[in-house]
Structure 1
Amino acid sequence: MMNTTDPDDTPDRAILQAFAETVGTQAPRGLQTTPADIAAWDSLAQVHLVTAIEARLSVTLPDEALTTRTTLGDLAAQAHRALGGSLAR
């Protein structure tokens, strides 16, 4: 039996990819990346990032995800909750 689950196909990876496409660079500290780490991560980029995450994962994140910029890990936790899972940190 062939394993069809790609270990790299996770919500966290999708968020990191969406981030790179949105701001034009990789997240230097992974999910711990904050807006202070990337000058291009401004309020408009946040809106584009949330929209990209929602499209990639087919979820709806809470409205505060549009305006609250803390870490990519916080967005990942919101995405995991939207997917019906939990994210142990």
Structure 2
Amino acid sequence: MKIAAFAAAALVAGCFAAAPALAYDGTNCRAPGNCWEPKPGYPDQVAGSKYDPQHDPMELNKQSESIKGMEARNAQRVAHFKKTGEWVYDVEEIPAE
């Protein structure tokens, strides 16, 4: 009797756990898997609206500048390794020639 009650309780708990997956989420899908739609009031064109992030070009340029510096240091390390066979991590320690 206790096993049947436990099984029934587990079944009811499982049904409640699966219920949110079956709930309607309010989207209208144009095609299967293409269900994104903007919230009401969101503009069709983001550029120029209050949702436009307007990133500073200098801030966006920081990462590309650091990558260029990293590639230059790696080129110095590889050139020194090909010449001497010794790997030097710190480019300041590579002797100038």
Compute the TM-score of the two structures, normalised by the length of structure 1: 0.24
Higher relative contact order (CA 8 A, sep 6+): 1
Query: Normalising by structure 2, what TM-score?
Result: 0.23
> Which of 1 and 2 has greater Rg?
2
